Amino acid sequence: MGVNASLLMQDLRKYNGKRCMPSKKLVTFPESRLKTAGSIVTCFSAMPYVSGISVPSAEDKRWIVDTHFMPYDDTQLISSVGVFRFRQGMTPVNIQHMINGLLIQWNITDDLKFTPVRGTSSTSYPQISLHPNGKHIGYINSNVTIINPSSKHKLHRRMDIKHLNFRNMSISPNGFYIASIARSSYYFELVVSLVDPSSLVDRDPYSTMGYLGSSMSDIASVNLHRICPGFMGTRLYTEKAEVVWSPDSQYIAVTSSMGMLLIVKRSVNNDVTKIIPGILDYNCQKLANERTGDFDPRFGHQTFTFALRDDTICTYDLDTDDFTEVLTVECIETLESVTNLKYNVAGTVLAIGTSEMLIHIHDSDTFQLLYSLDGKSQGSMSVQRHPDNNEYPSLLRMSFSHTGNQLCTSNTDGIVRIWQLKPYINLQHMCRTAIQKHVRADRLVQLPLPPKLIFFILQWPLP
């Protein structure tokens, strides 16, 4: 079943700038698990014992873990995990007897339960992107893939003659697009694919429909070196790049471990045009790494926030072309540096992670430091230094719960930690949460309320 382009374009014109909403009510974090703000609620190994899968020691290996809260459900996590051996000056090697990229569903109610999603694996570093409908999960196997863990129904990107080696992918907030990074030799390519919404309807798990990849077709592709000269890797193949969608699904930021950052716009004809070629080039500055950039979710696409290698946090205004340094993270240790940056769902706070296992929580408006989370002072759940190099494991990913009261982190020690944050005391926020708990997300737009209030409840950026 192919994509009906004419019908899809009508839908896209209607829904552009808005977000896909799940057909369920908000499920909040269980009260029985709540702890004092600033402490770890629970921690667990990202790869539990699964029949037929052995769990290696992490002493001489590095875990690559990507973990996220599911949309509109603060009791569910999804993770993808793999174990690699890193060699000096050589390409990392995946541990052969591990299933690299295995997806695991976690239920964190009263008892921690997990369910491996059989038949999932990755040929790249484990990485996932959640579809905003709350049902489907995107990941990279040998190709860009979307799966419904409940029905095991899969969609694959349509294959082409180039046979690209995909490294990262992200599903747009409106659910219609997938942006992915592929690598061929030294070059990185940005590929934008269109997803037919009708193909995401639940089907018989034994049906072959959707397995042919015909419901996910490429609409744009661009060599990043051509629009941003120097956006290239080396023969070691260790360089990384990630894609970040703007909240209105109109812009795509490409971040990289090489220190380069660029933002492109998806045009009316669904082509990709250069809008900001290498923001940092003319300042002779470099992005801290590929995990230190994020769009402010309170705006459609206006503000992109990122960290530099000198630990300076900057914002870029896409509408006015203003580049502003907003704060410098005070790193106490000599080798401490910023490693992660992430907004919460509502955009009220900005989390900044460092290499010394500190996570600083800042106010999004003033960028004032509100408080810090210290991973070194959590008793038996503390992050431990590696015995060989005396360094802390790298912080790979941060994910906020929908309410913003919990933060999930995953590190190269293979441990997933859930932090209790200080609650956001605001009457409007509390009323919005109460409404989301009693009305299905996809029906919130039907409430008899003023449009501005509807946008606030939906947590959509104002048009």
Flag whether pLDDT at 14 surpasses 60. no
The arithmetic mean of pLDDT across residues 242-262, rounded, is 92
109's tokens: 């109610």
Flag whether pLDDT at 202 surpasses 80. no
Q: Please give the share of the chain, as a percent, with pLDDT higher than 90.
A: 45
Name the residue with higher pLDDT: 420 or 121. Answer: 420
What single string gives the DSSP state of each residue in 197-236?
GGGGS---TT--TTTTSTTEEEEEEEEHHHHSTT-B--TT
What pLDDT is recorded for position 230?
82
What pLDDT is recorded for position 199?
75
What pLDDT is recorded for position 160?
67
Q: Left if phi > 0, otherwise alpha if psi is -120 to 50, otherwise beta: which for 399?
A: beta
Q: What is the number of helices (H) and of strands (E) in the chain?
A: 4, 29
Max mean pLDDT range (4-18, 72-86, 216-230): 72-86
Q: What's the order of all strands across the beta sheet hosting 338-343?
A: 338-343, 349-354, 358-363, 369-374
Of the pLDDT bands very low, low, confident and very high (cuts 50, 70, 90), residue 205 is: very low
43's tokens: 């921690």
Which SS3 state, helix, strand or coil, does residue 132 take? coil
What pLDDT is recorded for position 298?
93
What pLDDT is recorded for position 425?
84
Q: Which amino acid is at 282?
A: Y
Q: Left if phi > 0, otherwise alpha if psi is -120 to 50, otherwise beta: which for 135?
A: alpha
The arithmetic mean of pLDDT across residues 68-90, rounded, is 87
371's tokens: 């408080």
Max mean pLDDT range (7-16, 80-89, 196-205): 80-89
What pLDDT is recorded for position 226?
85
What is the pTM (predicted TM-score) of this model?
A: 0.90
Of the pLDDT bands very low, low, confident and very high (cuts 50, 70, 90), residue 209 is: very low
Q: Return the closest-CA partner of residue 386 out of 16, 62, 21.
A: 62
Of the pLDDT bands very low, low, confident and very high (cuts 50, 70, 90), residue 60 is: low
Q: Where are the domains of the chain?
A: 5-458
Q: Return the closest-CA partner of residue 144 out of 130, 158, 125, 131.
A: 158
Strand partners, 263: 253, 276
CATH 3.50.50.60 is held by the domain 5-458: no
Q: Which of 101-105, 389-393, 455-459 has the lowest mean pLDDT?
A: 389-393
What CA–CA distance (Å, rounded) separates 424 from 278? 36
Flag whether pLDDT at 277 surpasses 80. no
What pLDDT is recorded for position 272?
61
Flag whether pLDDT at 16 surpasses 60. no
What pLDDT is recorded for position 40?
95
What pLDDT is recorded for position 397?
95
Flag whether pLDDT at 111 surpasses 60. yes
pLDDT digits (tens, 9 = 90+) for 327-351: 988 776 656 689 999 999 999 999 9
Q: What is the CA radius of gyration of the chain?
A: 21
Contact in structure between 357 and 375 (CB atoms under 8 Å): yes
What CA–CA distance (Å, rounded) separates 336 from 357? 9
Flag whether pLDDT at 176 surpasses 80. yes
The position carrying tokens 């501005």 is 452
Flag whether pLDDT at 203 surpasses 60. no
Flag whether pLDDT at 197 surpasses 50. yes
Q: How many residues does the chain have?
A: 463
The position carrying tokens 């919404």 is 197
Contact in structure between 42 and 30 (CB atoms under 8 Å): no
Which SS3 state, helix, strand or coil, does residue 348 take? coil
- Show Cβ contacts of residue 443 under 8 Å, excluding neighbours closer than 6 positions: none
DSSP-assigned letter for residue 55 = -
Max mean pLDDT range (48-52, 193-197, 362-366, 389-393): 362-366
Flag whether pLDDT at 308 surpasses 60. yes
C-beta atoms surrounding 122 within 10 Å: 25
